[in-house]
Structure 1
Amino acid sequence: MIQVNGFSKIYGDKTVVNNITFTARDGAITGFIGHNGAGKSTTIKAITGVIKPTQGTILINGIDIAKDALNAKRQFGYVSDSPDHFLRLTGLEYLNFMADIYDTPSEGRAAFIENYGNRFGIYDSLNNKLLSYSHGMRQKVMIMGALIHEPSVWILDEPLTGLDPQSAFELKQMMREHVEKGNSVFFSTHVLEVAEKLCDEICIIKCGELLYHGTLDDLKATHKSQASLENIFLELTETKESEGS
């Protein structure tokens, strides 16, 4: 579970995120959507401990990441929005490196690598260097590396970018399987159709303000004239822009 309480981030005289509160609960896929520059990346960086909040607290499975960063970070797997890391390692070397960081037993990591490698269709390529991989193949390895210690909380920043249709399908299945075990998934996406079909709950952020947090059914109930999440999102964000102009 991720609990964000009164989180704000201010740089100089600019408020990037303003006093937002939400929970990505266990047993649910929570989608995080907003335009470029809305504050998504800043929020995710704070959740993962990359940056510190100006104010507010962030708890991962009840652990305050500002006070106990190491234990908080052991609770989650994080896939960033770029897969271009450690390119001179082979896929297998990278996965073992990540497994070593999290003290993953050798028996468990081998089974994980074989299972996920086959599901993503890259098992036979893991002895090749990441530098030789396509963007999509690198993305698959980064996903595997983030999840190899089997964390209860998944934090995924645009995880479907660059994936082929079969691999995107597999990842969505994995996300659903993960929350069905009572775990949590928090992911950002620009593909609203995916969010609408996959998410149990939605967070919509605009200009650093949290416009909505709740179920898609509740959101649609308050926008009965709108047929899709895309239409509701455009209405909400356009209204916010109009109010701010």
Structure 2
Amino acid sequence: MASIDINCDMGESFGAWNMGNDLEILGHVTSANIACGFHAGDPDVMFKTVQAAIASNVAIGAHPGLPDLQGFGRRAMAMTSAEVYNLTLYQIGALQAFAQSQGSQLHHVKSHGALYNMTVKDASLARAFAQAVYDYDPGLLVYVANANMTEAAQNLGLPVAFEVYADRSYQDDGTLTPRNLPHAMIEDVEQAVTQVKRMVCDGVVRSLSGKDVPIVADTLCIHGDQPGAVLFARTIRDALQAEGIEVIAG
């Protein structure tokens, strides 16, 4: 039976500022990437999100980002490999403390925003990120969606899950269309469902130019800050299960 995990970025509120609809989305996903207080989140939000994920039987993952609350971690920063290693290790440890205090453990790690984009361009930063994960726990699953991160994680023997997107379009080389270009985001849920089914069942994704590009789909990302995220998550999960595809954390 074909299967896939559905993950969502969560815990992105901060103080009195609220982002997303985590509690409702948790009913439709199987793993949560929880912000660790750098690009979003704070100790109270982290604690509440971990508790909610456990109550919903959703796997808990750390979502390390750059120290940039104002820019939501989406602005590139000049950082050394040592700095990327340290900030990654710090954030994994912080979220694990909350998970462990509630009788749970981390399931995976996924880089966020500009930190992710920086690893696409600089293999040394990908290696630093992967090394931090390995040094913390060599059994932690790493969600990967670029060549540098995949190679860095696999070279260390870390388990990986290849991530795909329902609400983003793809280029001919299998990379995501940059957000600043037209048609980068998919806002029609039926179009998203069609894309996901082909990725899971056929192992291909249709690029913006109309080319079928080979792809591996282990985990599907739903962006929790996207308008209509709950509808996307619910509709996609229902459609996958209707096709006999098991939705489960890897």
Q: Using structure 2 for the length normalisation, give the TM-score.
A: 0.34
TM-score using structure 1 length: 0.35
The structure with the larger Rg is: 1
